[in-house]
Amino acid sequence: MSFLPFALPDIGEEEIAEVVDALRSGWITSGPKVLQFERDFAACMGGGVEAVALNSATAGLHLALDAMGIGPGDEVITTTHTFTATAQVICHVGARPVIVDIDPETLCIDVAAVEAAITPSTRAIIPMHFGGRAAEMPSLLDVARKHGLQVLEDAAHALPTTSAGQLVGTLGSDATVFSFYANKTMTTGEGGMLVTRNPAIAERARIMRLHGLSRDAFDRYNSEKANWQYEIVAPGHKCNLTDVAAAIGIHQLRKVDAFRNQRARIAAWYDKALADLPLTLAPHALPGDRHAWHLYVIRLQSGARTTRDDVLNGLFRAGIGCSVHYIPLHQHRYWRETHGLTAQMFPHSQQAYERSISLPIYPRMTESDVGRVAAALRALV
């Protein structure tokens, strides 16, 4: 039987044709395709946001913190149950990451733990929308307003997710960052998008994404007159998106709702097929809200007659790709040794980690594929 991958991008002829057009145009770095992608993305968000395309969501989080004025002496609160990028960008701007536990039901950052961790040095909160389910944003934004804190949403999993009826990216936070990595709900191969209603944040991010130049190459060379002058206004970085990548994104964005609807169907198939097994199924969105279903994460219940690792190995032996989201920060040597994190500090994240398995979920999956995964799980648990 063929191997069922954990994730697979859905690239069509439209994306291929747009990439070919970019290659033939001569603009293969940041140029007209990037501008179109940014405008399309901002229009898709609505809510008066600006969109800044970058080569990764990590770059977006980094530039957002810089643009928000976060730096040495500041503290930023985030969760241990995430990929390291969410927290490492805090270190990159010279601030101190303050790491807290998750809500065991949603697997998103725990609001009470956030409020308990606030000190006079706290400047910002980075909630992460786990798996495509929104964190408890109304409560988090209330906490932020109460304490005068900025909010940067890590929405790498969360396109198109809603919270309290609003699209993530249009909430009351200072900035939101999406990922277009190969396994995300839409892809550009590598890439990310920073969205914000604050024009100063958007402008600073645009400058810092390309060495701190006052004007990018498209501005300087897309003219009938000599227009080569520029000025370095800050010690920036090199994290602009290319036109080749943006060409993919233009058409992926048009399909993102269809992709999400198919992911929701797959999640419903899993819910039905796994309902009678000793598993805690993936957390759903609150009533009236939308889950992006980037991940479908199950957790072994305490009564299961096997271990998480035995189930993972059994699924791979059955030709089924799967993963674990996440190996939390406190399990990694850097975060343990440099920041003094231990498993005892994060009991909910630790228990989720020990019991979690991320099952395949991507738009090309069929109900038969889900049945195959369910049958393998049934034999193992």
Work out whether the CA dihedral 272, 274, 277, 281 comes out positive or negative.
Answer: negative
Between CA 234 and CA 75 the distance in angstroms is: 23
- On whether the CB atoms of residues 179 and 156 are closer than 8 A, the answer is yes
Rounded to 5 degrees, what are φ and ψ at 330?
-70, -10
Distance in Å from the first CA to the final CA of the chain: 21
Query: Which structure tokens are listed for 5?
Result: 């991958």
**Residue at token pair 């992006």:** 292
Q: Helix, strand or coil for residue 125? A: strand
| Residues forming a β-bridge with 79 | 100
Which of 146, 184, 225, 272 is labelled catalytic?
A: 184
Q: If DSSP states are collapsed to H, E and C, what string results for 136-161?
A: CHHHHHHHHHHHCCEEEEECCCCCCC
Q: What is the DSSP letter of 279?
A: E
DSSP state of 241: P
Closest residue by Cα to residue 298 from 274, 317, 263:
274
d(CA 243, CA 57): 17
Active site residue 33: no
Select from 60, 115, 123, 69 the least CA-distant residue to 96.
Answer: 123
Are 70 and 93 a contacting pair, CB within 8 Å? yes
What is the chain's alpha carbon radius of gyration, rounded to the nearest angstrom? Answer: 21
Structural tokens at position 229:
């002058």
Distance, in Å, from the CA atom of 212 to the CA atom of 184, rounded to the nearest integer, reads: 29
Q: Which residues are catalytic?
A: 184
